[in-house]
């Protein structure tokens, strides 16, 4: 796969990954860095974020960021500009798992959407002056297969993720003239922080429960999602915008609500 394209100043491409201290976010950081790029990790978890950045040389840095705070988002963009001289793309991965289903309070709806949806939207708005200067800017919004099917006992997370997919289309249309591509990825069950916590770190249990939900017979590795994200950031996808890429092991081709009863078996 082609490495990311440098700009006219011959600097390496630079990407922000929000929620970059999570297991999934860290996989994005590692894959983007492997392609020869600079990465700015944005996250609230200073310990985890600094630890991930410490795996690399000065091409990867951590910047504490609360995506609910506009000044933090502006600071994240400023970090990229000050340290690396520009910005070529964003991976919007910050997410809230707050969800009490359809009985959720107004405060809960605001809190969940503020992290999962609004943060990424405002981050892109803050970054536009730098992205428009890049010759090959690209944005990837992390949605979910949950955006496309109804689920029992959940409302906030799936609805916010569904909104991300449509926001991606709107951003893609409105930014095409500036040569900024915007796409989304929709993972199904992935070995990520919430599933790791739910299973007490038992990957084999997660795979066995998820097998009937995914025709490939297991859940995804975070690194498999990261490969698709890196593709969408790279010049290899230069004519792709406004698309949503399922990374779901065939989950989306199953019948309606397939395997919903198994969801309760994940908890250990």
Q: Which residue has the tokens 């569904």?
A: 162
As given in the structure block, the two tokens for residue 38 are 């600079």
Assess whether 157 carries a catalytic annotation.
Answer: yes
- CA distances to 3, 22, 153, 213, 265 from 208, rounded to whole Å, are 36, 23, 22, 10, 10
Q: Please tell me which residue in 113, 157, 191, 245 is annotated as part of the active site.
A: 157
d(CA 210, CA 205): 8
Q: Which residues pair with 60 in a beta bridge?
A: 39
Q: 43 - beta bridge partners?
A: 64
Distances (CA, A) of 22 to 75, 169, 200: 20, 26, 16
Question: d(Cα 33, Cα 79) in Å, to the nearest integer?
Answer: 17
Residues constituting the chain = 268
Phi-psi region of 141 (alpha: psi -120 to 50; beta: other; left: phi over 0): beta
Q: Which residue has the tokens 């975070």?
A: 222
Helix and strand counts by DSSP (H, E) for the chain: 9, 9
| CB burial of residue 13 (10 Å; 0-12, 13-18, 19+) | buried
Q: How far is the C-alpha of 85 from the C-alpha of 5, rounded, in Å?
A: 15
Helix (H, G, I), strand (E, B) or coil at 98: coil
Q: Active-site positions?
A: 157
């Amino acid at each position: 796969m082609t490495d990311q394209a440098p700009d006219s100043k011959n600097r390496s491409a630079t990407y922000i990954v929000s929620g970059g201290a999570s297991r999934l976010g860290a996989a994005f950081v590692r894959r983007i860095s492997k392609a020869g790029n600079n990465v700015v990790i944005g996250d609230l978890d200073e310990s985890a974020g600094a630890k991930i950045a410490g795996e690399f040389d000065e091409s990867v840095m951590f910047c504490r960021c609360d995506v609910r705070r506009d000044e933090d988002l502006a600071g994240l963009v400023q970090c990229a500009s000050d340290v690396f001289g520009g910005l070529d793309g964003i991976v919007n991965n910050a997410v809230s798992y707050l969800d009490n289903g359809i009985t959720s309070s107004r405060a809960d709806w605001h809190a969940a959407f503020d992290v999962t949806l609004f943060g990424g939207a405002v981050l892109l708005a803050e970054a536009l002056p730098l992205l428009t200067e890049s010759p090959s800017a690209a944005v990837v919004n992390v949605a979910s297969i949950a955006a496309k099917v109804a689920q029992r006992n959940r409302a906030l997370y799936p609805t916010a993720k569904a909104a991300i997919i449509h926001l991606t289309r709107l951003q893609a249309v409105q930014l095409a003239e500036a040569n900024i591509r915007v796409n989304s990825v929709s993972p199904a069950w992935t070995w990520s922080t919430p599933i790791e916590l739910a299973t007490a770190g038992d990957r084999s249990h997660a795979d066995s429960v998820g097998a009937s939900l995914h025709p490939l017979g297991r859940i995804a590795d975070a690194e498999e999602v990261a490969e698709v994200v890196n593709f969408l950031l790279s010049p290899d996808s230069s004519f792709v915008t406004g698309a949503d890429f399922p990374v779901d092991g065939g989950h989306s081709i199953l019948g309606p609500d397939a395997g919903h009863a198994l969801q309760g078996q994940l908890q250990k």
